[in-house]
Every structure is written in C-alpha cells, then in structure tokens.
C-alpha cells in the first residue's frame, strides 16, 4: 500500500519503506523479494534504485499480493477431520468453504487502487504523508502489542 500510495511511482529504498511502515528492514526485504519474483514489484539496484510497483495500483489485486506472498486462502475440498464416509462436505464445512470462496472472489476483484480510493478518502495504513500514524509498543508483561501515538 505504501508503494501504491506514491503518486510519482518513483522507487523507494527498502529502508525508506521500512521506516514508513515500521516493519523491520530484514523482514521487509524478504517480502519484497517474493513480490518481485511474482511481478508485483520491480527492484533496481544502485543510485536511483529501489522498489516500485510493476503495474499501476488498479492492475494489482489483493489476491495477487496474497498469492505472491504464499498467503493463499485455503478452500475446503474434503472433510478436514478425515472422517471416513464423509464423501461430501457436511453443512458446516460447506458453509465455511462458501465463505472462503466469497472472500477469494472479493480479494480477486479488489485492486490496490480500490483500497487507495475507498470511501471517505482515508487510505488504509497510511496518513497523508504515507506513514503509519501509530507505533506498536510491545507489552512484555502482557505479551501483546498495543498501538501508541508517536
């Protein structure tokens, strides 16, 4: 979303993206490499290099990004409990699979551009400058992360 929100489509360095979205640069580099291998982003080395979307935001679906990052929606094709005699899905698993199919269709028909230009003009994850408006503070005693204002 950070790259999609860049109006000039100029490449951004891994460090620049990391600072803006507050994700560790090492982890981000792995994600960017996966996205690059799948043709979602381009990567250029050297001065003026960095990462940019390979296509316009309206040509990249949310499902494209999920597939590129190995985060696919798992459909239910057979009884997940392995119960013999369940040659068809039971009502519960049929309903769950139907919802997963609906989610998959929604992600396939929703582009990054759709998310940028959503209702109310508020961009997901970003303030107008492209930065996430909060930091996560890890609460070691409770074992969770809490949003906090920078």
How is the chain split into domains, by residue range? 1-56, 61-110
Distance, CA of 142 to CA of 49 (rounded, Å)? 41
Distance, CA of 133 to CA of 21 (rounded, Å)? 9
pLDDT digits (tens, 9 = 90+) for 91-137: 999 999 999 999 999 999 999 988 887 666 666 665 555 454 444 44
Please tell me the pTM assigned to this model.
0.72
Q: In CATH, what number does 1-56 get?
A: 1.10.10.10
The tokens for 40 are 């979602």
A 10 A CB-CB count for 146 gives 11
Q: At CB < 8 A and 24+ separation, what contacts does 65-72 make? A: 65/35, 65/40, 65/112, 66/107, 67/38, 68/34, 68/35, 68/37, 68/38, 68/39, 68/40, 69/31, 69/34, 69/35, 70/34
pLDDT digits (tens, 9 = 90+) for 58-95: 999 999 999 998 777 888 988 988 888 888 999 999 99
99 touches 113 (CB < 8 A): no
């Amino acid at each position: 979303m950070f790259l999609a929100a860049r109006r000039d489509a100029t490449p951004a360095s891994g460090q620049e993206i990391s600072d803006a979205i507050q994700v560790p640069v090492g982890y981000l580099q792995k994600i960017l490499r996966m996205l690059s291998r799948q043709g979602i982003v381009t990567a250029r080395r050297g001065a003026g290099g960095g990462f940019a979307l390979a296509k316009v935001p309206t040509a990249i679906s949310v499902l494209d990004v999920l597939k590129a990052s190995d985060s696919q929606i798992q459909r239910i094709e057979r009884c997940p409990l392995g119960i013999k005699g369940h040659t068809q899905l039971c009502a519960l698993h049929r309903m769950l699979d139907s919802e997963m199919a609906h989610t998959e269709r929604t992600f396939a028909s929703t582009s990054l551009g759709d998310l940028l230009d959503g209702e109310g003009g508020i961009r997901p994850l970003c303030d107008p400058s492209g930065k996430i408006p909060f930091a996560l503070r890890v609460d070691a005693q409770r074992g969770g992360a809490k949003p906090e204002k920078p």
